[in-house]
A and B are shown apart, each in its own frame.
Chain A
Protein backbone atom coordinates (compact mmCIF):
# COMPACT_ATOMS: atom_id res chain seq x y z
CA UNK A 1 0.00 0.00 0.00
CA UNK A 2 1.04 3.58 -0.62
CA UNK A 3 2.77 5.42 2.24
CA UNK A 4 3.41 9.13 2.78
CA UNK A 5 6.37 10.18 4.91
CA UNK A 6 7.03 13.46 6.71
CA UNK A 7 9.74 14.61 9.12
CA UNK A 8 8.37 14.58 12.68
CA UNK A 9 9.50 18.11 13.39
CA UNK A 10 10.91 21.26 11.85
CA UNK A 11 12.27 24.23 13.78
CA UNK A 12 12.59 27.69 12.28
CA UNK A 13 13.34 31.20 13.49
CA UNK A 14 10.82 34.00 12.92
CA UNK A 15 11.23 35.64 9.54
CA UNK A 16 12.99 32.64 8.06
CA UNK A 17 11.69 30.01 5.64
CA UNK A 18 10.38 26.58 6.67
CA UNK A 19 10.20 23.71 4.24
CA UNK A 20 8.17 20.62 5.08
CA UNK A 21 8.56 17.58 2.86
CA UNK A 22 6.12 14.81 2.03
CA UNK A 23 7.67 11.74 0.49
CA UNK A 24 6.06 8.99 -1.53
CA UNK A 25 6.82 6.75 -4.48
CA UNK A 26 6.38 8.90 -7.60
CA UNK A 27 4.27 11.34 -5.59
CA UNK A 28 4.81 13.85 -8.38
CA UNK A 29 2.16 11.98 -10.36
CA UNK A 30 -0.44 12.63 -7.65
CA UNK A 31 -2.24 15.73 -6.42
CA UNK A 32 -1.01 16.65 -2.94
CA UNK A 33 -2.92 18.74 -0.45
CA UNK A 34 -1.64 20.34 2.76
CA UNK A 35 -3.41 21.12 6.04
CA UNK A 36 -2.49 23.13 9.11
CA UNK A 37 -3.80 22.07 12.51
CA UNK A 38 -3.37 24.09 15.68
CA UNK A 39 -3.94 22.51 19.10
CA UNK A 40 -7.59 21.87 19.85
CA UNK A 41 -8.72 23.01 16.41
CA UNK A 42 -9.89 21.32 13.24
CA UNK A 43 -7.47 21.13 10.31
CA UNK A 44 -7.45 23.97 7.78
CA UNK A 45 -6.72 23.50 4.08
CA UNK A 46 -3.57 25.45 3.16
CA UNK A 47 -2.66 24.19 -0.30
CA UNK A 48 -4.61 22.05 -2.77
CA UNK A 49 -3.56 20.30 -5.95
CA UNK A 50 0.15 20.72 -5.20
CA UNK A 51 0.27 24.52 -5.35
CA UNK A 52 -3.20 26.01 -5.28
CA UNK A 53 -4.07 28.34 -2.43
CA UNK A 54 -7.64 28.64 -1.09
CA UNK A 55 -9.14 32.05 -0.59
CA UNK A 56 -7.88 33.63 2.62
CA UNK A 57 -4.63 31.70 2.85
CA UNK A 58 -1.60 34.03 2.87
CA UNK A 59 0.81 33.98 -0.04
CA UNK A 60 3.54 33.01 2.45
CA UNK A 61 2.26 29.43 2.12
CA UNK A 62 3.21 27.71 -1.14
CA UNK A 63 3.55 24.18 -2.42
CA UNK A 64 5.41 22.19 -5.04
CA UNK A 65 5.50 18.56 -6.10
CA UNK A 66 7.95 16.63 -8.25
CA UNK A 67 9.48 13.19 -8.38
CA UNK A 68 9.25 11.51 -5.00
CA UNK A 69 8.81 14.63 -2.88
CA UNK A 70 6.14 17.26 -2.35
CA UNK A 71 7.09 20.36 -0.37
CA UNK A 72 5.17 22.93 1.63
CA UNK A 73 7.12 26.17 1.99
CA UNK A 74 6.31 28.75 4.64
CA UNK A 75 8.04 32.07 3.94
CA UNK A 76 8.63 34.80 6.52
CA UNK A 77 7.59 32.48 9.34
CA UNK A 78 5.53 34.01 12.13
CA UNK A 79 4.88 32.82 15.68
CA UNK A 80 1.31 32.02 14.68
CA UNK A 81 2.55 29.43 12.16
CA UNK A 82 3.47 27.07 14.99
CA UNK A 83 1.26 24.05 14.34
CA UNK A 84 1.09 20.53 12.95
CA UNK A 85 1.13 20.20 9.18
CA UNK A 86 -0.23 17.23 7.25
CA UNK A 87 0.12 16.29 3.60
CA UNK A 88 -2.65 14.27 1.94
CA UNK A 89 -3.02 12.41 -1.33
CA UNK A 90 -5.21 9.74 -2.88
CA UNK A 91 -4.21 6.17 -3.65
CA UNK A 92 -6.82 4.45 -5.80
CA UNK A 93 -10.04 5.33 -4.04
CA UNK A 94 -8.61 5.90 -0.58
CA UNK A 95 -7.39 9.13 0.99
CA UNK A 96 -4.05 9.00 2.76
CA UNK A 97 -2.50 11.41 5.23
CA UNK A 98 1.13 11.78 6.09
CA UNK A 99 2.05 11.32 9.77
CA UNK A 100 2.34 15.06 10.29
CA UNK A 101 5.15 17.53 10.98
CA UNK A 102 5.26 19.73 14.06
CA UNK A 103 6.62 23.17 13.22
CA UNK A 104 8.23 25.00 16.11
CA UNK A 105 8.99 28.70 15.83
CA UNK A 106 12.12 29.43 17.84
Chain B
Protein backbone atom coordinates (compact mmCIF):
# COMPACT_ATOMS: atom_id res chain seq x y z
CA UNK B 1 0.00 0.00 0.00
CA UNK B 2 1.22 3.48 -0.89
CA UNK B 3 2.10 5.67 2.07
CA UNK B 4 3.74 9.00 2.75
CA UNK B 5 4.89 9.48 6.35
CA UNK B 6 6.06 12.91 7.47
CA UNK B 7 8.23 14.07 10.33
CA UNK B 8 6.84 15.47 13.54
CA UNK B 9 5.70 18.90 14.62
CA UNK B 10 8.18 21.77 14.82
CA UNK B 11 8.30 25.02 16.74
CA UNK B 12 10.65 27.65 15.36
CA UNK B 13 11.52 31.25 16.07
CA UNK B 14 11.14 33.95 13.42
CA UNK B 15 14.14 34.06 11.13
CA UNK B 16 15.00 30.38 11.63
CA UNK B 17 14.67 27.53 9.13
CA UNK B 18 12.65 24.34 9.23
CA UNK B 19 13.19 21.08 7.36
CA UNK B 20 10.30 18.63 6.97
CA UNK B 21 10.77 15.08 5.73
CA UNK B 22 8.41 12.81 3.82
CA UNK B 23 9.17 9.09 3.55
CA UNK B 24 7.53 7.22 0.71
CA UNK B 25 6.71 3.53 0.62
CA UNK B 26 4.73 1.14 -1.53
CA UNK B 27 5.72 2.56 -4.91
CA UNK B 28 8.75 3.52 -7.01
CA UNK B 29 9.87 6.75 -5.32
CA UNK B 30 11.87 7.95 -8.31
CA UNK B 31 8.97 7.46 -10.69
CA UNK B 32 6.66 10.23 -9.46
CA UNK B 33 6.87 13.94 -8.72
CA UNK B 34 6.65 14.90 -5.07
CA UNK B 35 4.81 18.11 -4.23
CA UNK B 36 4.56 20.22 -1.11
CA UNK B 37 1.34 21.99 -0.11
CA UNK B 38 0.69 24.05 3.00
CA UNK B 39 -2.40 25.14 4.88
CA UNK B 40 -2.42 28.02 7.36
CA UNK B 41 -4.85 27.77 10.29
CA UNK B 42 -8.43 28.11 9.05
CA UNK B 43 -7.26 28.77 5.50
CA UNK B 44 -7.16 26.93 2.18
CA UNK B 45 -4.51 24.88 0.43
CA UNK B 46 -1.44 26.56 -1.05
CA UNK B 47 0.93 24.79 -3.45
CA UNK B 48 4.64 25.36 -2.79
CA UNK B 49 6.37 23.39 -5.53
CA UNK B 50 7.62 20.01 -6.65
CA UNK B 51 10.75 17.92 -6.88
CA UNK B 52 11.54 15.29 -9.47
CA UNK B 53 13.18 12.58 -7.36
CA UNK B 54 14.76 11.04 -10.43
CA UNK B 55 16.61 14.09 -11.76
CA UNK B 56 16.63 16.24 -8.60
CA UNK B 57 14.98 18.97 -10.67
CA UNK B 58 12.66 21.37 -8.87
CA UNK B 59 9.90 23.86 -9.64
CA UNK B 60 8.96 26.32 -6.91
CA UNK B 61 5.94 28.59 -6.67
CA UNK B 62 7.00 32.15 -7.27
CA UNK B 63 5.90 33.17 -3.77
CA UNK B 64 8.46 30.86 -2.16
CA UNK B 65 11.40 31.21 -4.55
CA UNK B 66 14.52 32.15 -2.63
CA UNK B 67 13.18 30.76 0.65
CA UNK B 68 12.27 27.14 -0.13
CA UNK B 69 14.55 24.24 -1.01
CA UNK B 70 13.26 20.80 -1.94
CA UNK B 71 15.66 17.87 -1.89
CA UNK B 72 15.53 14.09 -1.78
CA UNK B 73 17.50 11.07 -0.66
CA UNK B 74 16.75 8.25 -3.05
CA UNK B 75 18.54 5.68 -0.86
CA UNK B 76 15.80 6.00 1.74
CA UNK B 77 12.92 7.15 -0.53
CA UNK B 78 12.58 10.40 1.35
CA UNK B 79 11.81 13.93 0.18
CA UNK B 80 12.59 17.06 2.16
CA UNK B 81 11.25 20.60 2.19
CA UNK B 82 13.28 23.32 3.87
CA UNK B 83 11.81 26.79 4.39
CA UNK B 84 14.12 29.55 5.57
CA UNK B 85 13.73 33.01 7.08
CA UNK B 86 10.55 31.92 8.79
CA UNK B 87 7.86 34.45 9.66
CA UNK B 88 4.79 34.14 11.85
CA UNK B 89 2.60 33.78 8.76
CA UNK B 90 4.50 30.61 7.83
CA UNK B 91 2.68 28.90 10.69
CA UNK B 92 0.81 26.14 8.92
CA UNK B 93 0.38 22.43 8.32
CA UNK B 94 2.80 21.32 5.61
CA UNK B 95 1.84 18.34 3.45
CA UNK B 96 3.79 16.30 0.96
CA UNK B 97 1.68 14.85 -1.84
CA UNK B 98 2.47 12.48 -4.68
CA UNK B 99 1.98 13.90 -8.13
CA UNK B 100 2.02 12.29 -11.52
CA UNK B 101 4.45 9.95 -13.23
CA UNK B 102 7.68 11.70 -14.20
CA UNK B 103 7.28 13.31 -17.61
CA UNK B 104 3.52 13.83 -17.39
CA UNK B 105 1.79 17.12 -16.58
CA UNK B 106 -1.40 18.60 -15.17
CA UNK B 107 -1.70 15.76 -12.68
CA UNK B 108 -3.66 15.46 -9.47
CA UNK B 109 -2.16 14.76 -6.07
CA UNK B 110 -3.31 11.24 -5.35
CA UNK B 111 -1.54 10.36 -2.11
CA UNK B 112 -0.96 12.78 0.78
CA UNK B 113 1.20 12.64 3.88
CA UNK B 114 -0.42 13.12 7.27
CA UNK B 115 0.86 16.68 7.55
CA UNK B 116 3.47 18.37 9.73
CA UNK B 117 2.51 21.28 11.95
CA UNK B 118 5.06 24.09 11.88
CA UNK B 119 4.59 26.86 14.41
CA UNK B 120 6.62 30.06 14.11
CA UNK B 121 6.58 32.05 17.31
CA UNK B 122 8.95 34.16 19.34
Residues of chain A at the chain B interface (Cβ within 8 Å): 30-31, 33, 35, 37, 42-45, 48-49, 54, 86, 88-90, 93-100
Are A42 and B108 in contact (CB-based, < 8 A)? no
Are A96 and B114 in contact (CB-based, < 8 A)? no
> Which of A37, A94, A98 meets B62, CB within 8 Å?
A94
Q: If A86-B45, A94-B62, A96-B47 touch, does A43 touch B112 (CB 8 Å cutoff)?
A: yes
B38-78 CB contact bits vs A (8 Å, 1 = yes)? Answer: 00000011110000000000010110000000000000000
A-B contact count (CB 8 A): 52
B112 / chain A contacts, CB cutoff of 8 Å = 42-44
> Which of B62, B95, B108, B114 meets A45, CB within 8 Å?
B108
B28 in the interface, Cβ–Cβ < 8 Å?
no
Q: If A42-B114, A94-B62 touch, does A49 touch B108 (CB 8 Å cutoff)?
A: yes
Are A42 and B113 in contact (CB-based, < 8 A)? yes
Pairs A-B, 5 closest by C-beta atoms:
A33-B108, A95-B47, A48-B108, A42-B112, A97-B45
A95 / chain B contacts, CB cutoff of 8 Å = 35, 47
A98 and B44 alpha carbons, distance in the complex (Å): 8
A16 and B55 alpha carbons, distance in the complex (Å): 48
Closest B residue by C-beta to A30: B106
Are B44 and A99 in contact (CB-based, < 8 A)? yes
Extra contacts besides A89-B106, A93-B59 (6): CB < 8 Å: A37-B45, A42-B115, A45-B108, A45-B110, A48-B110, A94-B62
B59 / chain A contacts, CB cutoff of 8 Å = 93
Are A94 and B47 in contact (CB-based, < 8 A)? yes
A31 / chain B contacts, CB cutoff of 8 Å = 106
